[in-house]
Amino acid sequence: LHRTILVALLLVAPVAAEDAASQLSVRGEAALKVPADQASLRIVVRAEADTVAEAMRSAGTRINKITDFLDSLDIEPGKERRTGGYSLEPIWSQRPRNPAEDWKPTVLGHRLEHRILVETTRLELVGDLLAKSAKHGADEVNLDGFGLSKAARMSQRDVLLQEAVRNARREARVVSAASGTVLAGIKNIDIESDNARPPVMARGRMMMSAEADFGAPTIEAGEVEVRAAVRIVYTLGPLSE
């Protein structure tokens, strides 16, 4: 795994006015760029019909075909896929330009939308999911982005925290030496929340008919930047003569 340690941004400031001579607050940050290992997709099925039952039947038939397709790829419900949304609403007639006094809107039909969310670390499946979902009845397939799974994020956490502490200590030593003091001890350490920055090129959308027939597109996930930071308050002492 190729990793790049980025230059950390470190901030040094006194904790409080009365403690400025004896304490030093330092923030140390570290970052890594690692390959994205998780993809997020949305598969959308829409249906319009005169009755609720017809709309549900039309969408349900295609949803069943899509879930069978996902099952064939071993994309398990509750783990790698879940329902991302479900809406059913009437389609109302539009108000005419010069309506009669007794005009009232009427229901012309019903519109249904069912969304399936897929999150998988098997990036080799992304191309097939994009290209073949429409063949099984999807009206729209969205690649919402690439990111880092929780397991991958945790595997980098120790490395990031160690680097952040080293950077904070290095900066504190420089400041204490320049001010004629030494680092006598640590009063407090806080770990700030880590975060991951997704690659910029992570989004895409395919809208197609079920008759579309083409090969799986080539998808490149790119890298994700993950960060960790610590804030350390050092106590200062005089230089030994």
Tally the residues of the chain.
241
Label residue 96 by pLDDT band (50, 70, 90).
Answer: confident
Report pLDDT digits (tens) over 140-195: 999 888 888 888 888 888 899 999 999 999 999 999 999 899 999 999 999 986 65
Binning pLDDT at 50, 70 and 90, where does residue 102 land? confident
The H or E element containing residue 176 is helix 150-178
* Contact of 220 with 36, CB cutoff 8 Å: no
Please report which confidence band the pLDDT of residue 232 belongs to, taking 50, 70 and 90 as the band edges.
Answer: very high
Indicate the residue type of 149: S
Find all residues with CB under 8 Å of 178, minimum gap 6, and list them: none
Residues 6+ apart with CB under 8 A from 197: 224, 225, 226, 227
Q: Report the pLDDT value the prediction gives residue 213, as an integer from 0 to 100.
A: 53
pLDDT reported for residue 208: 46
Neighbours of 64 (CB within 10 A): 12
Query: HSE of 205 in the Cβ direction (CA atoms, 13 Å)?
Result: 4
User: Is-above-0.85 flag for pTM?
Assistant: no
Local confidence band at 216 (pLDDT 50, 70, 90 cut-offs): low
Each residue's pLDDT tens digit, 104-135? 999 999 999 999 999 999 999 998 898 889 88
